[in-house]
Protein backbone atom coordinates (compact mmCIF):
# COMPACT_ATOMS: atom_id res chain seq x y z
CA UNK A 1 0.00 0.00 0.00
CA UNK A 2 1.49 3.33 -1.03
CA UNK A 3 -0.98 5.69 0.65
CA UNK A 4 -4.43 5.94 2.17
CA UNK A 5 -6.85 8.82 1.80
CA UNK A 6 -10.25 9.27 3.37
CA UNK A 7 -13.17 10.82 1.53
CA UNK A 8 -16.19 11.96 3.50
CA UNK A 9 -19.29 10.44 1.93
CA UNK A 10 -21.73 11.57 4.59
CA UNK A 11 -25.05 12.40 2.98
CA UNK A 12 -27.54 14.28 5.11
CA UNK A 13 -29.84 14.75 2.14
CA UNK A 14 -29.02 18.40 1.52
CA UNK A 15 -26.23 19.78 -0.59
CA UNK A 16 -25.45 22.62 1.79
CA UNK A 17 -23.82 20.60 4.52
CA UNK A 18 -22.87 17.13 3.40
CA UNK A 19 -20.07 15.87 1.21
CA UNK A 20 -21.99 12.84 -0.03
CA UNK A 21 -24.65 15.05 -1.61
CA UNK A 22 -22.04 17.22 -3.31
CA UNK A 23 -20.16 14.68 -5.36
CA UNK A 24 -18.04 12.71 -2.88
CA UNK A 25 -18.94 9.27 -4.32
CA UNK A 26 -17.86 10.38 -7.80
CA UNK A 27 -14.71 11.89 -6.29
CA UNK A 28 -13.83 8.56 -4.69
CA UNK A 29 -14.23 6.69 -7.95
CA UNK A 30 -12.27 9.29 -9.89
CA UNK A 31 -9.38 9.14 -7.41
CA UNK A 32 -9.33 5.35 -7.59
CA UNK A 33 -9.37 5.43 -11.38
CA UNK A 34 -6.64 8.05 -11.61
CA UNK A 35 -4.40 6.18 -9.17
CA UNK A 36 -4.94 2.94 -11.09
CA UNK A 37 -4.21 4.68 -14.39
CA UNK A 38 -0.85 5.79 -12.97
CA UNK A 39 -0.13 2.45 -11.32
CA UNK A 40 -0.13 3.98 -7.85
CA UNK A 41 -1.47 1.89 -4.98
CA UNK A 42 -3.86 4.36 -3.36
CA UNK A 43 -6.44 3.18 -0.85
CA UNK A 44 -9.45 5.49 -1.05
CA UNK A 45 -11.65 4.86 1.95
CA UNK A 46 -15.09 6.33 2.70
CA UNK A 47 -15.67 7.93 6.09
CA UNK A 48 -18.81 9.29 7.70
CA UNK A 49 -17.57 12.80 8.45
CA UNK A 50 -14.29 14.67 8.68
CA UNK A 51 -15.68 17.57 10.67
CA UNK A 52 -15.32 20.12 7.87
CA UNK A 53 -18.87 19.82 6.52
CA UNK A 54 -19.30 23.35 5.21
CA UNK A 55 -16.16 23.01 3.09
CA UNK A 56 -16.83 19.66 1.42
CA UNK A 57 -16.46 17.44 -0.34
CA UNK A 58 -13.49 16.80 1.90
CA UNK A 59 -10.50 14.56 1.43
CA UNK A 60 -7.84 13.75 4.00
CA UNK A 61 -4.54 11.99 3.67
CA UNK A 62 -4.16 9.44 6.47
CA UNK A 63 -2.73 11.31 9.45
CA UNK A 64 -2.13 14.28 7.21
CA UNK A 65 -3.39 17.15 5.16
CA UNK A 66 -6.95 18.07 4.26
CA UNK A 67 -8.27 19.16 0.89
CA UNK A 68 -11.60 20.90 0.68
CA UNK A 69 -14.27 21.49 -1.97
CA UNK A 70 -12.88 18.64 -4.05
CA UNK A 71 -14.59 17.46 -7.23
CA UNK A 72 -14.15 14.35 -9.36
CA UNK A 73 -12.85 16.38 -12.30
CA UNK A 74 -9.94 17.47 -10.10
CA UNK A 75 -8.77 13.91 -9.41
CA UNK A 76 -5.56 14.22 -11.47
CA UNK A 77 -4.55 17.42 -9.68
CA UNK A 78 -5.57 16.03 -6.31
CA UNK A 79 -3.46 12.93 -6.89
CA UNK A 80 -0.53 15.18 -7.82
CA UNK A 81 -1.02 17.00 -4.51
CA UNK A 82 -1.29 13.73 -2.57
CA UNK A 83 1.89 12.42 -4.16
CA UNK A 84 3.68 15.67 -3.38
CA UNK A 85 2.52 15.47 0.23
CA UNK A 86 3.93 11.97 0.65
CA UNK A 87 7.08 13.02 -1.19
CA UNK A 88 6.55 11.16 -4.44
CA UNK A 89 7.83 13.41 -7.23
CA UNK A 90 5.19 14.42 -9.81
CA UNK A 91 5.69 13.49 -13.43
CA UNK A 92 7.82 15.88 -15.43
CA UNK A 93 5.88 19.07 -16.06
CA UNK A 94 3.32 18.19 -13.38
CA UNK A 95 2.01 20.45 -10.66
CA UNK A 96 -0.76 20.53 -8.15
CA UNK A 97 -2.70 23.76 -8.53
CA UNK A 98 -5.03 22.61 -5.76
CA UNK A 99 -5.49 24.86 -2.73
CA UNK A 100 -5.09 23.09 0.59
CA UNK A 101 -5.50 23.97 4.20
CA UNK A 102 -2.74 23.77 6.72
CA UNK A 103 -4.54 21.29 8.93
Chain residues binding ligand FES by CB under 6 A are 8, 10, 18-19, 49-53, 56, 58
Question: Minimum distance from CB of 48 to ligand FES (Å)?
Answer: 8
CB-nearer residue toward ligand FES: 56 or 76: 56
Q: Measured from the CB atom, is 66 or 83 closer to ligand FES? A: 66
**Is the Cβ–Cβ distance between 11 and 17 less than 8 Å?**
no
Nearest-approach distance from CB 97 to ligand FES, in angstroms: 23
Cβ at position 83, least distance to ligand FES in Å = 23
Q: For residues 42 and 27, what is the distance between their CA atoms, to the nearest angstrom? A: 14
Identity of the residue, 67 or 75, whose beta carbon is nearer to ligand FES in the bound complex: 67
Give CA–CA dist 52/40, Å, rounded: 27
Integer distance in angstroms from the first to the last C-alpha of the chain? Answer: 24
Amino acid sequence: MDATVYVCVNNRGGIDRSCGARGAPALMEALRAEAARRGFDLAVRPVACLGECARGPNLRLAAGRFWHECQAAEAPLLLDAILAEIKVPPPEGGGTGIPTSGS
